[in-house]
Amino acid sequence: MQAFELLRATSAQQAIEFLAAHGPAVKALAGGTDLMADYKSDTHGIKALVDISLAEDLKGIALTDEGLRIGSLVTHSEIMASPLIRDMFPALVDAAHSIGAVQTRNLGTLGGNLMTCIPSMDSGPVLVALDATVTIAGPEGSRKIPLSDMFVGPRKTALRFDELLVEIVIPKRNVGKPTAFLKFGLRKGQALALVNVAASFWVDEKTNSFRDPAIALGAVAPKVIRAPNAEKYLAGRAISEEAMAEAGRIAVGEAKPISDFRASADYRRELVSVLTRRALANAFELHTSKRRGKKP
């Protein structure tokens, strides 16, 4: 490991100033669970790190006029413990719980996990399926983009070197939307996903049909992707096991998995079919359970 300069920022603005002043060889450091592991081989040519862990304006979970706001420094353990998230988005809790060990979840942040931009990330599919947006701040101000647009490719985001991920927002229209997350790995814990899937939809009570369905797939393409053909198939269709199974089969055609030492592309395609069907079924069960809970 090479020596580096450590800069401590107490706000997003100060962090941005440090990033801009030190050029492309500087990186923001939050929990460090991914960055420090990479830094041991110095693959990024890092000369300075900006510690943003004390920036209070990058923390917090709250309902706002825009929707559910999650600061980029919120840890996976904080997501799991949040009453708001546990009530509205248990799928986010499931995704957070699947990330590493307890120590990793205590230190690792949602923003850091997203910024790694690895196709198998566990936090990405649920947020993509919920049309989450991100706020990115830099020397010229801030901008908001869909989270899916932030992902460019493996370990590559749309952020410039002097920009910082500030917050993630699930839009108000999707707050409380029934959503499910499933992951398949080679072991029960601390494993990268061979495939992970998130599915969400509202239920049209009059027709018992899918409304605004969304399916996001991880570890089957260079980045987390949606399955638009499967979503189009489901939209307005009566909810049934057969429809869910067919959506899974359609999603297979939208995935672009590779074969590697962990699994073959064909095996991953089969997982896409099975996990998509199960995630849709779990989202419907969540909807059903909430309805029962509201009854006197």
Domain 179-294 has CATH 3.30.390.50: yes
Rounded-to-integer distance, Cα 79 and Cα 81, Å = 5
Token digits for 70? 């999650």
**Average per-residue pLDDT in the chain?**
92
Domain 56-174 has CATH 3.40.50.720: no
What pLDDT digit, counting tens, does each position of 132-152 carry?
A: 999 999 999 999 999 999 999
DSSP strand pairing (61-63 vs 26-29): unpaired
pTM, rounded to two decimals: 0.93
Q: Is the pLDDT of residue 89 over 80?
A: yes
Rounded-to-integer distance, Cα 55 and Cα 11, Å = 4
Q: Which residues contact 33 (CB under 8 A, 6 or more apart)?
A: 100, 104, 107, 108, 112
CATH class of 5-51: alpha beta
Rounded-to-integer distance, Cα 32 and Cα 36, Å = 5
What pLDDT digit, counting tens, does each position of 172-186 carry?
A: 999 999 999 999 987
Give the per-residue pLDDT at 26: 86
* Domain chopping of the chain, boundaries: 5-51, 56-174, 179-294
Give the per-residue pLDDT at 295: 41
| Residue 118 and residue 152 in contact, taking contact as beta carbons nearer than 8 Å | no
